[in-house]
């Protein structure tokens, strides 16, 4: 099965994760995809392929030849809830580099990278959902490599430890990861964007749920009695720095991102994510939301605002830099396939961030995709094929 065929198969299994679920995995579709992957791995001859009680999928490809290293390759099965719904991928066989109009009138245009994709086979959405290249492209690329390595005429290679995780998109992808049982010396998440990306710096991340409690009185007799929770929420939000949002930041600049809001006079909710590469600035951002909460509670009465602040993951840089050789091996694998490696900070996170702090140094590699988490997500077949070759070089030259 080609990497394209695998990708098209996987994206049609709906695996959107759910922040509000207390189960692991957070949605049943992830178990469906996990079981499918186990069956495929067993069919390839990967004898220890398995899915544990938390929905994590593991398998090991034994070394061939004198290659003592043990490298891990990891991708996540869940997809973002940015646009919820089943995925219906569309194929553009020989893309002309111009604007793409999807079925429902969504237009993909204005991106600098589009002309560079001319002549390639493009996979896009139908405009009604995310595509799921984040990270089913990574899953497909790893599985395509597994098929290659399990063939009798496979090239010599090191031991390759495979893992597919649930719930990465909601910051829980490594919560139950069995690092000792996985058995790798170091790993790579295959969860990045444009072909050639190599990332080992990510945001420090926290979730921030702000709950507002009001007092509702009939508007006709509300003077000095009503405490409108929705208006208090708006006031709270107005005290954050207006230009420290994703739409106004880039590179190493951090932000506060409002993901969800709801409410009425009685109760209101704001849900943010907080991000910064710099640990001190990250701590200062968390302190800012605490100070705003204290101020609003002093103004309107204690208990008006509840703040639930939870760290999600940390910047992996400090854990990966001491293992510079694994970064250089990745750069060599890209160059060997005619791809210029581009080292850049992740304006997000991966399972590798948490895994690095769990003792498994784990930088992130590209998948070849663009515009993740939205209706304009896309990837090329050629990029996925190239990533299979990059991964092959990595495990054959460990």
Q: Read off the tokens for 177.
A: 């990861």
For residue 387, is pLDDT > 90?
Answer: yes
**Res 346: pLDDT:** 87
**Res 165: pLDDT:** 98
Q: Find the catalytic residue in 121, 134, 141, 168.
A: 168
Active site residue 168: yes
The pLDDT tens digits of the residues spanning 180-207 come to 999 999 999 999 999 999 999 999 999 9
What confidence tier does 347 reach under pLDDT thresholds 50, 70, 90?
confident
Nearest to 387 by CA among 73, 63, 164, 67: 73
- Percent of residues, the chain, with pLDDT higher than 90: 94
The pLDDT tens digits of the residues spanning 246-272 come to 999 999 999 999 999 999 999 999 999
The pLDDT tens digits of the residues spanning 295-324 come to 999 999 999 999 999 998 899 999 999 999
From CA 154, how far away is CA 292, in angstroms rounded? 60
Q: Find the catalytic residue in 78, 121, 135, 199.
A: 78
From CA 396, how far away is CA 158, in angstroms rounded? 6
Number of C-beta neighbours around residue 287 at 10 A: 10
**Res 338: pLDDT:** 98
**Res 394: pLDDT:** 98
Which whole number is the average pLDDT over 32-58?
98
Task: Evaluate the omega torsion of the peptide bond into residue 25 and state whether it is cis, within 30 degrees of 0.
Answer: yes
For residue 85, is pLDDT > 90?
Answer: no
Q: Which domains does the chain have, with CATH numbers?
A: 3-202+315-396 (3.40.630.10), 204-313 (3.30.70.360)
For residue 348, is pLDDT > 90?
Answer: no
Active site residue 78: yes
């Amino acid at each position: 099965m080609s990497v394209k065929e695998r990708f098209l198969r996987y994206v049609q299994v709906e695996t959107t994760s759910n922040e509000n679920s207390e189960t692991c995995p957070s949605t049943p579709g992830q178990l469906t995809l996990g079981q499918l992957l186990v069956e495929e791995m067993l069919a390839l001859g990967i004898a220890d392929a398995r899915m544990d009680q938390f929905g994590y999928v593991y398998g090991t490809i034994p070394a061939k030849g004198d290659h003592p290293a043990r490298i891990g390759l990891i991708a996540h099965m869940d997809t973002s809830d940015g646009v919820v719904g089943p995925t219906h991928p569309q194929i553009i066989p020989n893309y002309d580099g111009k604007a793409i109009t999807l079925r429902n009138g969504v237009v993909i245009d204005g991106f600098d990278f589009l002309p560079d994709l001319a002549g390639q086979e493009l996979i896009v959405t139908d405009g009604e959902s995310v595509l799921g290249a984040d990270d089913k492209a990574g899953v497909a690329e790893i599985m395509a490599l597994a098929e290659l390595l399990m063939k009798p005429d496979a090239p010599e290679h090191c031991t390759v430890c495979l893992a597919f995780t649930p719930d990465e998109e909601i910051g829980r992808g490594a919560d139950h990861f069995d690092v000792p049982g996985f058995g790798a010396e170091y790993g790579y998440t295959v969860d990045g964007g444009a072909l050639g990306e190599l990332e080992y710096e990510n945001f420090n991340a926290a979730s921030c749920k702000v709950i507002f409690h009001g007092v509702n009185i009939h508007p006709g007799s509300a003077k000095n009695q009503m405490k409108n929770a929705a208006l208090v929420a708006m006031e709270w939000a107005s005290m954050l720095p207006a230009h420290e949002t994703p739409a106004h930041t880039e590179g190493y600049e951090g932000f506060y991102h409002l993901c969800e809001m709801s409410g009425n006079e009685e109760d209101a909710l704001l849900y943010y994510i907080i991000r910064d590469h710099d640990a001190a600035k990250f701590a200062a951002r968390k302190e800012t939301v605490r100070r705003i909460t204290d101020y609003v509670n002093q103004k309107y009465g204690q208990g008006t605002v509840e703040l639930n602040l939870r760290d999600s993951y940390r910047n992996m840089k400090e854990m990966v830099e001491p293992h510079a050789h694994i970064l250089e091996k990745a750069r060599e694998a890209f160059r060997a396939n005619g791809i210029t490696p581009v080292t850049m900070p992740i304006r997000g996170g991966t399972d590798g961030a948490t895994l690095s702090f769990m003792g498994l140094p784990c930088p992130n590699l590209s998948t070849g995709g663009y515009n993740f988490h939205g209706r304009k997500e896309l990837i090329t077949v050629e990029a996925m094929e190239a990533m299979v070759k990059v991964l092959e070089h990595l495990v054959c030259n460990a």
